[in-house]
Structure 1
Amino acid sequence: MKKLRIVAAMSLVGLALSGCAATDAPETSEGLQTVNVGHVQLAIFSPLYVADAKGYFADEGIQIKLEAIKSGQDAIPLAASGKLDVVVAGFSAGMFSAVETGLDVKVVGSMGVSAGDEEEPPSALIASKKLVDDGTISTVADLKGRKVAVAGGAGGTGAFYVGMALEEAGLSITDVELVTLGNPDMPTAVANGSVDAAFASAPFWNMPVDDGTAVNLWSTPAGTSGTGVIYGGDFASSDLAQKFFTALAHGAQDLQGDDRYTDENLGIIAAATGQTAEQVAAVPLYRWLPDLAPLPAQLASMERMWMELGSIIYTDPIPEADYVDATFSQNS
């Protein structure tokens, strides 16, 4: 059965990107080797864009070829087959399920992490102000039995964050009704009562709070990350794997503290994400670990929670060593 699932997953690759892995790619005219990188075009992946724009990949003998993807889950078969070398995206239940079937990928790093800023976090769990004003909701514990909107559904990172908030309040992720909504639709849904609460990214949590239709109920603890860096198995064992990560970490090091908001960095992030520098600066940016180290304990918590929700159907957790490799961050 597992073999059949692997074949089915790999068949998706033929319908998606084409190309060769970095280890087989010819050199460019500048003598650089190409690395194919799948990315979701968001500011949370700024180290990638900064490292590219500032020439850190070129310094390591690499030219990156960016391929837009819808989600990390969609790109896992591509990375496992070598159609993509690297994926920077959000984690999901589908990633764990793919690993369990035998697809060869490694989580090698983290991306945006929360600073624990309760006033201006990059994302937050908001609740209807009407329900707060009438006393129905005063704490996260009062969400029991209520509708909570999350992007990506029960198998997405939003559901994990909601589960974190509920567990802190002594509840379980199964104590609420999760409603799948895109971030842009959440302010309206909270305002009109379609949902009672939502876990939204900025500016979509700020908007209803600012217009008085929602209240910020909870924000992610410091050091929490729902996104990361994933290598295909073949790329992980190539001579470019460490070089790529070293350049990527250099980009993260340029984004520490208030350096995130330098004119140069804002311009790079804006160009990469189709925004203006002013738009990027107006939304709180995540932070990044200087070495982009992976967070295996959090990954294990994600897997456990998605098992509890039924988004993962296997029963035994995957050993961390089977899908996490911290050596690249340690050597960067």
Structure 2
Amino acid sequence: MISAFAIEKNFCFVVVLAGCGSKEAKPSSTTSEKSDEKERIKISIGMLKLTPSAPIFIAMEKGFFEEENIEIDPQWFDAAQPVSVATAGNKVDVGATGLSASIYNMAALGQKMYIVADKGMEKKDYPATVIMVQKGSSIKSIKDLKGKKIGITQTGGTYHYLLGRALELNGLSLEDVTVTPLGAIGATMETLKSKQVDATLLSEPNVTKAINDGYGEALTPLGDELDSQNAAIFLSPQFYEKKEDAVRFMKAYIKACRYYYDAALKLENGKQIKGENFDEVVNIIAEYTGQPAENIEGALPYMDRDGKLFKDDIQTQIDFYLKNKLIEKEIDSKEITDMKLWEEALKQLDKEEK
């Protein structure tokens, strides 16, 4: 197993922004009258061109940020860890990315940032991440993974956490399997296809691709095993101190979460149904991610309708990583989470919409 020290060394790397400004926020055709009363501000957001950033894409396209008189400066990254490093270092105001051991190590080392809202969860009936096995495999349950070789992207990443927790909930541990970090999603797919691993973890649209290509079978959606906060919205130390600006950002974000949820995440008989604005939301995500709209339709992850953070899972993650020696120092999740800005934004937004 790779030590926490090896993960910590990555913090010394220079953060490189990838393709900054290649997609700009569009101004709203109709701006709230109240925006004239607010000082114009510019907020930089570090993120990846992935589906879980959907509420930010929606807020940019639908003018929800403009309604708060906010100009968005999108900063595009190619990987999750540099987003958190840039946010902690005040290189961007807001970070939107996945949760990992490296984030908690940064906090343990005294690098401040604040987790304030949801940006993607595992949830029952919403198959975001799936344990995949080879087609025709004898593995029929999580318990059958004992002694097997399982591919993940990186040590200390979201897939590592989800695998470990799912094993624990089924009476096993990471010690009962051979965990194989492969770096990239493409490598995990290729090693499953070539039968170099017995199982791997994938998210949509790659789950559907592996099945359609004839080499993979879904063992179980991890949302059926546990609820988990996979990704989150972070605020930099400097932006966190600008309370009024942060609340304005959060209001626009919550509004976009509601738009996304109502369009794509409502359930009927345990199945997601298409809302009134489904096609519009899919096309917005497709435009920003560069993925075909038909691939996006089956790959819409769960998010809380109000963007509420699943705060309890943050401490569960910290405890898991500490137990597995992926972080070296115990920290309290209260040191890096803050719900007050979200609560104030929700209060103001609900008052305005009455």
TM-score by length of 2: 0.79
For the Cα contact (< 8 Å) 2:122–2:230, is it kept in 1? no
Contact 1:187-1:205 within 8 A present in 2 as well: no
1:270 paired with 2:286, answer yes
Partner of 1:242: 247
Match of 1:288 in 2: 303
Specify the alignment match of 2:63 in structure 1: 55
Amino acid of the structure 1 residue aligned with 2:233: V
The yes-or-no answer on 1:204 pairing with 2:206 is yes
Contact in 1 for aligned 2:87/2:94 (Cα 8 Å): yes
Partner secondary structure for residue 221 of structure 1: helix
**Corresponding residue of 2:33:** none
Q: Look up the equivalent residue of 1:64 and give its one-letter code.
A: I
CA offset digits 1:119-166 (Å, max 9, x no partner): x7232001223432xxxx221112122111112x12100011111210
**Alignment equivalent of 1:297, drawn from 312, 321, 324:** 312
Match of 1:230 among 234, 251, 262: 234
How has the CA–CA distance of structure 1 residues 276 and 127 changed in structure 2, closer, same or farther, with 3 Å as cutoff?
Answer: closer
Is contact 1:187–1:207 with CA below 8 Å preserved after alignment?
A: no
Q: Name 1:178's counterpart in structure 2.
A: 179
The number of residue pairs the alignment matches comes to 305
Q: Please name the residue that 2:295 is paired with.
A: 279
Quote the Cα distance in structure 2 between the aligned partners of 1:241 and 1:93: 26
Q: Any idea what SS the aligned residue of 1:88 has?
A: strand
Cα RMSD, aligned residues only = 2.6
What is residue 51 of structure 2 aligned with on the other side? 43
Pick the aligned partner of 2:90 from 82, 85, 101. Answer: 82
* Aligned-pair CA distance for 1:212: 4.3
CA contact (8 A) 2:117 2:232 kept: yes
Q: Do residues 309 (structure 1) and 324 (structure 2) align?
A: yes
1:22-171 equivalences in 2 (<5 Å): 32-117=40-125, 121-132=127-138, 137-151=139-153, 153-171=154-172
Asked whether the 8 Å contact 1:111–1:292 carries over to 2, the reply is yes
Alpha-carbon separation, structure 1, partners of 2:319 and 2:95: 23
Deviation by residue 1:65-89 (Cα, 9 ceiling, x = unmatched): 1111233322233222321100000
Cα shift at 1:297: 1.6
Which amino acid in 1 is paired with 2:164?
G
Asked whether the 8 Å contact 2:129–2:223 carries over to 1, the reply is no
SS at structure 2 position matched to 1:198:
strand
Deviation at 1:320? Answer: 1.9
Uncovered stretches (5+) of structure 2, i.e. residues with no partner = 1-7, 21-37, 267-273, 347-354
Whether 1:322 aligns to 2:335 is yes
TM-fit CA distance, 1:9: 4.8
User: For 1:205, what is the secondary structure of its paired residue?
Assistant: helix
* Structure 1 residues 252-278: Cα deviation after superposition (integer angstroms, max 9, x where no partner): 100112339622212211111112333
Alpha-carbon distance in 2 for matches of 1:261, 1:56? 16
Identity %: 23
User: CA separation in 2, counterparts of 1:259 and 1:112?
Assistant: 19
Q: TM-score, normalised by structure 1?
A: 0.84
* Change over 3 Å in CA distance of 1:57–1:83 after alignment to 2: same
Secondary structure of 1:66's aligned partner = strand
Paired with 2:166 and 2:74, the residues of 1 have a C-alpha distance of: 35
- Deviation string for 1:209-257 (max 9, x for gaps)? 3444332112122643310101011111202101101101110100112
**What CA distance in whole angstroms lies between the structure 2 residues aligned with 1:221 and 1:16?**
32
Q: What per-residue deviation string (whole Å, max 9, x for no partner) do you get for residues 39-74 of structure 1? A: 011011100000111111111111111111233322
Q: State the distance in 1 between where 2:97 and 2:305 align.
A: 18
Q: Closer, same or farther in 2 for the Cα pair 1:221/1:41, shift >3 Å?
A: same
Cα distance, 1:12 vs structure 2: 3.7
CA contact (8 A) 1:80 1:232 kept: yes
Q: Which runs of 5+ in 1 are unaligned?
A: 1-5, 20-29
Give the direction of change, closer, same or farther, for the CA distance of 1:9–1:131 in structure 2 (3 Å limit).
closer
| Maintained 8 Å contact 1:253/1:290 | yes
